[in-house]
Chain A
Amino acid sequence: MSDYGFYLWGSYGMTVLCICLEILFLRSKKAKA
């Protein structure tokens, strides 16, 4: 697996990052009341 580590980590890592950012952004977003 080591030969392809960069590509696998790059893919799964970015996906996790995107999900975390989406959830963080959603939780921090205050409705403009």
Chain B
Amino acid sequence: MTSELYRYAAPQAFFPLAGKLVPWFSILAGLLALAGLYVAFLVAPTDATQGEAYRIIFIHVPAAWMSMFIYLVMAGWAGFGLAFNTRLSGMMASALAPTGAMFTFVALWTGALWGKPTWGTYWVWDARLTSELVLLFLYLGFIALKGAIPDPARADRAGAILALVGVVNVPIIYFSVQWWNTLHQGASISMTSAPSMAATMLIGMLLMALAAWMYSIAVTLARLRKIIIERERDAQWVRIQRNAA
């Protein structure tokens, strides 16, 4: 089992596996999104105080979760690559960054559109909002830094350091609503207490979160395949594959 896992640490072995996994994760993401949207718009009741505008949370909360989770995974892979000098780790971090940035942007955008009818403003320089904006800049900085260094090994090392330093921002985002007086409400779901929202709202949100998760895996694996081909272009197995195509 362990030797199997080691085998897939080689880009050459992981490339076909990623290709096989992409359609499955894509289908799963589509089905979960359909189920989530059905619950979000046709099953979940109208909120007592926020009316219909609250239905934005079915996008906003999963996007915000994914923005933080993807950053942690990205920094984890980058750090692993830095420590053990594994080629695939840096590529994995590169493949995750654009999707993480996309979810961060979606979280900020939908948050603004939820804030206007609920708080009366699109934006405030509140701890939660500002730290999430910093996360977007960290993603963009990571992508730009890696793109600016032509040597992939050096780019991976520099990117890893930036990603690891930026990890400090994730707990700041998560706990900002507890540490400071913010306009943003507290955590939507807590591990230690019963959910305060209706069960159907919670189910809709979890289905959408799972859909976002599956989508992220599918897109990241597809992007990883492009990065592997680009970086390993001089390897014999890529040349053989290119000639066969």
> Which positions in A face B, CB cutoff 8 Å?
1, 3-4, 7-8, 10-12, 14-15, 18-19, 22-23, 26, 29, 31-33
Q: Give complex CA distance A14, B105 in Å.
A: 10
Q: Which of A4, A15, A22, A31 contacts B99 (CB 8 A)?
A: A22
CB distance from B129 to the nearest CB of A (A): 16
A29 contacts across to B, CB distance below 8 A: 226
Chain A residues, CB < 8 A from B219: 22-23, 26
Tell me, in angstroms, the Cα distance from A22 to B113 when the chains sit together.
21
- Given contacts A4-B117, A15-B106, A22-B99, whether A33 and B226 have CB atoms under 8 Å apart is no
Other A-B pairs, 7, CB within 8 Å; known A1-B52, A4-B51, A22-B102: A3-B51, A7-B113, A8-B55, A10-B113, A18-B105, A33-B230, A33-B238
Out of A1, A18, A26, name the residue touching B222 (CB < 8 Å): A26
Task: State whether B215 touches A15 (Cβ < 8 A).
Answer: no
A31 touches B215 (CB 8 A): no
Q: Which residues of A contact B59 (CB under 8 A)?
A: 11-12, 15
The complex places the Cα of A23 from the Cα of B215 at a distance, in Å, of: 11
The interface centre, meaning the residue of A11, A18, A33 with most chain B CB atoms within 10 A of its CB, is A11
